Structure 1
Amino acid sequence: MFGLVLPRQALLALAITAFTSTAQAALSSTPCPVINAGLPAPSKLSTLGSDSIAAAINSTQLQFLAASNGLSPYGTYEANTTAYAVEVFSVAANESLFTFSFNPPGLVDAHSVGVNNIATDTVFRLGSVSKLWTTYIFLVAAGDRSWNDPITEYVQELAQLAANPADQGAVDHVDWESVTVGSLASQLGGIARDAAMNPGLQSELESFGLYNAGGFNHTTCGDERMMIPCNRTAFFEDFPQQRPVFESYVTPAYSNAAFQILAYALENITGSAMSDLFDKHLVQPLNLTGTYYTVPPANVTANGMIPYNTTASWWNANALDESPAGGFFSTLDDMRKVSTAILNSTQLSPVLTRRWLKPHSFVADPRAAVGAPWELMRAPDSPGAPVSWMYTKAGDLGMYSSMVALIPELGIGFNVLSAGTDTTNTVEIVSDILAETWVPQIRAAALAEASAAYAGVYADASTNSSITVVANSSLPGLSVTEWTYGGFSVLDLLGQFEGIDSTQYIAVNLYPSGLKQASVSGNSSEVEVGWRATFQALPAASNFGPFSSSCIAWEVVSQLVYGGVALDEFLFTVDSSTGNAVSISPRVLAQTQTRSNEAAKRSETGRVGKMERRWVA
């Protein structure tokens, strides 16, 4: 009988060998990052990110000039009669990064009231961006505990409809018991779009002799211009006449009426009028000085952006009980305050914010999704960058359009306000320019900051171990290019036991988990920051089918566990005063390696060599 003595490096080899049966999936099938976990959002944009910001500003101004002359690749708009204003801001740095306004000569000469030159405190109508703020107010005032409850629990008129023993055929009558509070917020209620019929449209179609198949001739709301919203009594006289569009939770179907109903539910939950909740939970705590629930008082008109006049522009159109769906007014200054409060979880708990900032449904466009009431868009891609999502909400009403776009992963956002004859088109073109220009530059700033904070060689001389971490623009997250333990290459071990061939190498990328804690060492100036790794055998196979997808990183996080500790768990200890890492711990090894002054080698691949398993008798 032979005694078996296993040195430290052999123990590591044995541990990895034990993983072989599960490592096949964990290593060879994950050549992709973990979503929503790229690099930490940059917070030093005025220093480390200054070059990126300067480049973004210069490019944006040139593209705006080209767009006003009809030379933008994103399309053309009526630049002579359409005004707009934009602001790009950083949440972590708590600062405005860029503001710009365009005052078209044709509109300046044509309007009779309001401002000639747009400033950040100029008042615009928001249109359907109001839906976003209504949902935010709902969450601040009541949270999301009620979101899976039937709306009939909170709106008496709908409860009475559901209890009516008359014909309740599913095609002709909404099943209100299946419509939840959350389905209304996320456009999944399956109900009709607007509160009332359009009398103007009905009159026009009747003049052509079109048969009135619905037989409903009376409406208590609306005029020849528009479907003027209803007060509560009139709403429940008119709206139930409309048939359902879909069953709830089948597919998103845009509905203004959903947010009028949502506001009624919130009034019931809180016992307060929606206008009072708007003031209590939005205007006052965030110190909004140019934001209004409905048409502002007359003295505000002089500070408004009002194309032509208050009637033609719809400045003076009172949205009544549909204000929560599209009636709010605001400024760039105030929109930045609200957007920053959302991303900073100023009024909501961080976990509630994270729940809210998630998609609720797919749409036909694979680069888009629907939230509550977020309109999610894929952020512009760049080589090696992880998939990022922009949480947006657009609005249109009369001669006004608006856009809110938040990018939580990068800690930035932008707002766009427009007034004039071609606002929807203008906002889309301007937003395209902002996204395509600023997202890559902020990613570059994040990379520079992550490199300064984390890149380097970490070593423990007592065990002859080291880890080299780099920030590489062609790879997501941080990259581990060299990793030795007891003088042996961990990357080689992983490659050998994975059985990769000579054309492949093992890549290890690190992603922040968002988890932090005080240093267990008791050093009050240090904080421990959690990161997770993906282990990838690259290049990966191509031509995957739908069930052999190469992107399963999320399925194998913490899959390989030894002694209750995951192989992919890393811990950086960071100096709170500088934001720079001082050490790293691959926690499965129960070892801390200290950051040295040696520059990290910027190799894009890990080293793969031949190494024999060594057993010592």
Structure 2
Amino acid sequence: MLSPTTLAGLAALASTAQAAVNSTPCPLVNAGLPAPSLLSTVGASYIKDAINSTDLQFLAAANGLIPYGTYESNTTAFAVEVYSVASGESLYTFSFNPPGLADTHTVGVTNIASDTVFRLGSVSKLWTTYVFLIAVGDRSWNDPITDYVPELASLVAAENNIADSVDHVDWSSVTVGSLASQLGGIARDAAYNAGLQSALGSVGVPNAGGFNHSTCGDTRLMIPCNRTAFFEDFPQQRPIFESYVSPAYSNAAFQILAYALENMTGSTMPELFDKHLVQQLNLTGTFYTVPPDNVTANGMIPYNTTYSWWNADALDEAPAGGFYSTLDDMRKVGTAMLQSTQLSPLQTRRWLKPHSFLTNPNAAVGAPWEIMRAPDSPGAPVSWMYTKAGDLGMYSSMVALLPELRLGFNVLSAGTDTTNTVRIVSDILSNTWVPRVRAAALAEAEQNYAGQYADAATNSSLTVVADSSQPGLSVTEWTYGGLSVLDLLGQLEGANASLSQKVIMNLYPSGLKQAAASGNETSVGWRATFQVLPAPLDQGPFSANCIAWEVVSQLVYGGVALDEFLFTIDADGKAVSLSPRVLEQTQTRSASSSSSSLSSKRSTRRMGAMERRRGQK
């Protein structure tokens, strides 16, 4: 066991440790607090507040009273659902049925329900990638696409030595993963656009490329109808970038990805879609292509099936934008993704990561995630929403997953102003629900973890607080053998007593757990950060560097890191003890703190007041 004298001696490490420690407080990413699972009890007030606020903002948006913009409320329908995987609840559903569509539509529903069918547009790309990962995993993602698509291999062989060419795509350098993450550097769509040819040709612009006809297929979608026609058409276009230079959105990339998957599995893409999604998840309102006539009556179809693009068959480009689904089915798919029911947890974690930056510092690109920074809450660490938007004809959609909160929401829209509507609705949902679910997580963490932990035999204790102004859990007091461990750590971190500096200690869940030695208890892993406040002014990019991730487990004694902690929780998820593993002791929980719940309620009231002010003109 580590003695107080030895612990004090660790201060001698200050000369080496201090140089690597930035005093700017910063949390560990993707490790805020455990996702809340008691939203109907502990978090009920936050959920009720979110529901009321969302309802009011949807009404205000139709009248131009919120800063996100105004959607067209007469001829644009939308439906939303917010759900929690951790609690197994659908938290909120809402649908808007515009009067203008009810008066003019000729087929389909006039009142949206959770099983009403919409077109998904480019959300199809997300589901295509998901089917790919279920069927064959991501081992092939660094392989050239020419390994799996013989037409492209033949093209490379015929063109010979085209590396660095501005006129020809070097398909041998385009990988499977680059296509899934929009980094292939290839063109967006087919080589022929009838509408653009008509517009430019009518004013005398010459046809530089020579393509002057549609190879076949539905001209509304600008696509060829089959594999043979696609490879006659699409490769005529020049590259945009070399692969892995810069994201460039491509629908054709997912058509090629589907062809590769068919070659890998020996099954057609519709067969794989049906096997891995529809059948395994019991999706009753989801379709790979234009649904049969008996489904049309249950579709949201503005005006008619042609004008709305309901019946525009995406054919071989269906993997890029042709799928149909419902709120019920989209929740099932999102839940399966967050719960890793069809992929391994490791595969899911690999997939839910960015692949490239964007110009917007609050956004990134995944495979094919459109990753957005989640709304900030006081004291909360930066977290990310993994989203995918879709647009096709008179339809728009949005999928959003927040792995840290195990939260998801979906938006479906049909009508004349769908892209704008989905954007506004998604802004409302994220800015309303994320802070409140975080507040619910804090309240639940307080109930489950906050309090004093003590070991009388060694005269040692820790006080754990759930504080809305701090990320993770805060440790406000830690003594061992009567000595203040935080003061000793302050010496290690370079705290200056004359400036009243002290160590701020925060705990973050690692996601690691194992069965405890007794009964139905579980040991869950947490890691600590030790930071000195106040922080100096950040004058440049290197001064502002947040390096908490660089110093995890930096201070190790006897093979055990000072920042390693284990909570033992009971069957109800409540902590019964806490073990600072470097001390090889167990401290028993004796009391809880109520200070953070007051702070959380104040935070919620502030959020409500801010929204009321935003709604005033």
Whether TM exceeds 0.5 here: the answer is yes
Match of 2:34 in 1: 40
Distance, in Å, in 2 between the alignment partners of 1:244 and 1:524 is 62
Report what 2:293 is aligned to.
298
Indicate the residue corresponding to 1:503 in structure 2.
500
Q: Alpha carbons of 1:353 and 1:564: their partners in 2 closer, same or farther (altered >3 Å)?
A: same
Kindly state the Cα deviation for residue 21 of structure 1 after the two structures are TM-superposed. 2.7
Q: Which moved more, 1:500-509 or 1:310-319?
A: 500-509
The answer (yes or no) to whether the contact 1:197–1:222 under 8 Å persists in 2 is no
For 2:453, the equivalent position in structure 1 comes to 458
SS at match of 1:92: coil
- The 1-side partners of 2:109 and 2:592 are apart by 58
In 2, distance between residues paired with 1:297 and 1:437? 38
In the other structure, the counterpart of 2:342 is: 347
Segments of 5+ residues of structure 1 without an aligned counterpart are: 1-5, 605-617
Cα distance, 1:600–1:233 mapped onto 2, change above 3 Å? same
SS at structure 1 position matched to 2:77:
strand
How many Å separate the matches in 2 of 1:586 and 1:349? 31
Q: Residues of 1 paired with 2:117 and 2:7: CA distance?
A: 65
Is the 1:125–1:328 contact (alpha carbons within 8 Å) kept by the matching residues of 2?
Answer: yes
Q: Deviations over 1:592-613 (max 9, x none)?
A: 1110136477699xxxxxxxxx
Shift of the 212–199 alpha-carbon distance from structure 1 to 2, 3 Å rule, reads: same
Paired amino acid for 1:510: L
**Cα contact 2:23–2:533 (8 A) shared by 1:** no
* Alignment partner, residue 85 of structure 2: 91
> 303, 310, 317: which is aligned to 2:312?
317
1:255, distance to aligned residue in structure 2 (A): 0.1
- Inter-CA distance 458–163: structure 2 relative to 1 (3 Å threshold): same
In 2: Cα distance, 1:129 partner to 1:437 partner:
23
Paired residue for 1:254?
249
Instruction: Determine the C-alpha separation between the residues in 1 that align with 2:437 and 2:558.
Output: 40
Contact 1:32 1:550 in 2 (8 A): no
Partners of 2:2 and 2:33 lie apart in 1 by 36
Q: How much does 1:38 deviate?
A: 0.2
The question of 1:202 aligning with 2:162 is answered no
Q: Where does the alignment leave 5 or more consecutive residues of structure 2 unmatched?
A: 599-617
Letter in structure 1 aligned against 2:94: F
**Map of 1:560 onto structure 2:** 555
Q: TM-score with structure 1 length normalisation?
A: 0.94
- Residue among 393, 396, 418 paired with 1:398: 393
Would the aligned equivalents of 2:166 and 2:239 in 1 still touch at CA under 8 Å?
A: yes
- Give deviations 1:261-281, integer Å, cap 9, x for gaps: 000000011100000000000
Give SS of 2:591's match: coil
Return the offset for 1:83.
0.1
- Distance of aligned partners of 1:416 and 1:599 in 2 relative to their CA distance in 1, 3 Å threshold: closer
| Pair 598,37 (structure 1): closer, same or farther in 2 beyond 3 Å | closer
Counterpart-to-counterpart distance in 1, 2:270 and 2:76: 31
Aligned positions, number: 595
| RMSD of Structure 2 on Structure 1 (CA) | 1.7
In the superposition, relative to structure 1, how do residues 586 and 167 fare at CA in structure 2: closer, same or farther (>3 Å)? closer
The answer to whether the 8 A contact 2:454-2:460 is kept is yes
Aligned counterpart in structure 2 of residue 183 of structure 1, from 178, 181, 184: 178
| Residue from 131, 135, 140 that aligns with 1:141 | 135
- Contact kept, 8 Å, 1:196 with 1:221, in 2: the verdict is no
Deviation at 1:363, TM superposition (A): 0.4
Is the Cα–Cα contact under 8 Å of residues 104 and 303 in structure 2 kept in the other structure?
yes
AA paired with 1:185?
A
The one-letter amino acid paired with 1:259 is: F
Which of residues 407, 415, 421 in structure 1 aligns to 2:416? 421
Aligned pairs for 1:118-157 within 5 A: 118-157=112-151
Question: Is 2:69–2:424's contact at 8 Å kept on the other side of the alignment?
Answer: yes
Identity %: 77
Q: Could you tell me whether the CA contact under 8 Å between 2:514 and 2:524 is conserved in 1?
A: yes
Contact 1:479 1:510 in 2 (8 A): yes
Q: Which amino acid aligns with 1:54?
A: K
- Give how far 1:229 is off: 4.1
Matched residue, 2:152: 158
Q: Which moved more, 1:493-502 or 1:176-185?
A: 493-502
Residues 237/561 of structure 1: CA separation in 2 closer, same or farther (3 Å cut): same
Normalised TM-score (structure 2): 0.94
Secondary structure in structure 2 of the residue aligned to 1:101: strand
| Contact 2:505–2:531, Cα closer than 8 Å, also in 1 | yes
Aligned pair partner of 2:515 in 514, 518, 524: 518
Work out whether residues 569 and 587 of structure 1, in 8 Å CA contact, stay in contact via their aligned partners in 2: yes
Q: Which residue of 1 aligns with 2:49?
A: 55
In structure 2, what is the equivalent of residue 78 of structure 1?
Answer: 72
Amino acid at match of 1:379: A
1:615 maps to what in 2?
Answer: none
Opposite residue 395 of structure 1, the aligned amino acid is G
- Kindly indicate whether residue 279 of structure 2 is the aligned counterpart of residue 284 of structure 1: yes
Instruction: Please point out which of 569, 584, 609 is paired with 1:590.
Output: 584
Amino acid at match of 2:509: P
Distance 1:499 1:146 in 2: 48
Could you tell me whether the CA contact under 8 Å between 1:406 and 1:414 is conserved in 2? yes
Equivalent runs, 1:544-559 vs 2, <5 Å? 544-559=539-554
Secondary structure of the 1:494 match is: helix
**CA deviation digits over 1:151-210, x for unaligned, max 9?**
000001000011114673610100001000000000000000013320221132112111
C-alpha displacement at 1:504, in angstroms? 1.4
Letter in 2 for 1:215: G
Which whole-Å CA distance do the structure 2 matches of 1:217 and 1:273 have between them? 31
Contact 1:26–1:559 (CA<8 Å) still a contact in 2?
no
Would you say the 8 A contact 1:103–1:118 is kept in 2? yes
Letter of the 1:505 counterpart: K
**Paired letter, 1:91:** V
Amino acid at match of 1:581: A
